[in-house]
Amino acid sequence: MHAVLQAVCEQTGISSPMNREEAEAVARLLKAVADPARLQLLSALSASPKGMACVCELTEAVGLSQPTVSHHLKVLTAVGLLRREQRGSWAWYGIAEEGVEALRQALNYPLPRAAFV
Amino acid sequence: MHAVLQAVCEQTGISSPMNREEAEAVARLLKAVADPARLQLLSALSASPKGMACVCELTEAVGLSQPTVSHHLKVLTAVGLLRREQRGSWAWYGIAEEGVEALRQALNYPLPRAAFV
- Dump pLDDT digits (tens) for A20-58: 898 998 999 999 999 999 999 999 998 887 888 999 889
Per DSSP, the three-state class of B19 is: coil
Residues of B in contact with A51 (CB under 8 A): 112-116
Asked if B88 contacts A25 with a C-beta cutoff of 8 angstroms, the reply is: no
Residues of A in contact with B13 (CB under 8 A): none
Find the closest chain A residue to B60 by CA distance: A17
Query: Rounded to an integer, what distance in angstroms lies between the CA atom of residue A43 and that of residue B106?
Result: 9
Residues of A in contact with B110 (CB under 8 A): 46
Query: Rounded to an integer, what distance in angstroms lies between the CA atom of residue B30 and that of residue A53?
Result: 25
User: Of B51, B100, B109, which is closest to A107 when you measure between CB atoms?
Assistant: B100
* pTM as predicted: 0.79
Query: Rounded to an integer, what distance in angstroms lies between the CA atom of residue A104 and that of residue A1?
Result: 17
Residue-wise pLDDT tens digits, B14-23: 345 788 898 9
Find the closest chain A residue to B112 by CA distance: A51
